[in-house]
Structure 1
Amino acid sequence: MPVTLHSVDRAAWEADAQAQLDLARIYSDAPSERLPATVGTFIQSHLGDGHRFLCARFNDRLIGAVAQRDDGSAWWLSHFCVRKPTRRRGVGTRLLTLVGHAAQAESRALRAELSQLQLADQVLLTRLGYRLEQHSGFYELMMQERSQ
């Protein structure tokens, strides 16, 4: 499945009706306890605060997303979700791999607040080769060195 990384900030979201529809569909598939508000309010609030979503794109549709905010030295990730019809097909793995490469290219650490990292998320990140280093209130996602 050729999944690519697509960034959606406020300007892109306002200009792209398909991105609006796709993000709403993605987060409509999230368990309600994972979102702090209704889907529309959550998306509007996140984008309104100047943050963005890093999305998995396939066939001109967004099929997975992670909320991202940049503090200048790290990308903080939260609210990871993949649409139900495309789960268990490697979309989440590909999305997080692409996010990791993009963060590395911009010399940013990847971090997630403890409250935002579910057990299933921890398992996926570990499987991808990330080491979860616990600090005060957050995990830092560090790529493990792979032996040749």
Structure 2
Amino acid sequence: MPVTLHPVDRAAWEADAQARLDLSRIYADAPPERLPASADAFIEEHLGEGGRFLCACFNDRLIGAVAQRDDGEAWWLSHFCIRKPTRRRGVGTRLLTLVGQSAHRAGRPLRAELDQLRMADQVLLVRLGYRLEQRDGFHELHLPEGCQR
């Protein structure tokens, strides 16, 4: 499955109707306890705060996403979600690999607040080869060997 990384910021959200529809569908598939509001309200709020979404793109459709914000020191990740029809096909693994590579090229470590990484998320990341280092209220995600390209 040739998945590519497609960033969606405020400008892309406003200009691309297909990206709006796809991103809304991705987060509509999220378990309700994972989102602080409805899918569209969550997306609008995140983009309004200067965040963006790093999305998995396949056949010109967005099929997975992770919310990302850059504080100038690190990339903070949250709200990782893959569309239900494409789960268990390696999309999440590929998305995390692409995000890690992109962050490495930008010279930014990946971080996630402790409350954003549930146990299942942590297990997945460790199985993918990430090393999680717990710090003051967050995890720093260290890329697996060979993923820094």
Q: TM-score per shorter chain, which class?
A: over 0.9
In the TM superposition, what is the alpha-carbon distance from 1:145 to its structure 2 partner? 4.0
Give the TM-score normalised by the residue count of structure 2: 0.95
Aligned-residue CA RMSD in angstroms? 0.9
Q: After the TM superposition, list the runs of 4 or more consecutive aligned residues in structure 1 that deviate by more than 6 angstroms.
A: none
Matched letter for residue 42 of structure 1: F
Q: Percent identity?
A: 77
Secondary structure of the equivalent of 1:79?
A: strand
Q: Distance in 2 between matches of 1:144 and 1:65?
A: 20
Aligned to 1:137: 137
Partner amino acid for 2:41? T
The number of aligned residues is 146
Residues 90/27 of structure 1: CA separation in 2 closer, same or farther (3 Å cut)? same
1:6-44 deviations in Å (ceiling 9; x for gaps): 000000010000000000000000000000111111000
CA 1:86–1:145 in 2, change beyond 3 Å: closer, same or farther? closer
| Matching residue of 1:2 | 2
2:18 paired residue number: 18
**CA shift for structure 1 position 143:** 2.1
Q: How many angstroms does 1:144 deviate by? A: 4.2
Q: TM-score, normalised by structure 1?
A: 0.96
| Alignment partner of 1:109 is 2:109 | yes
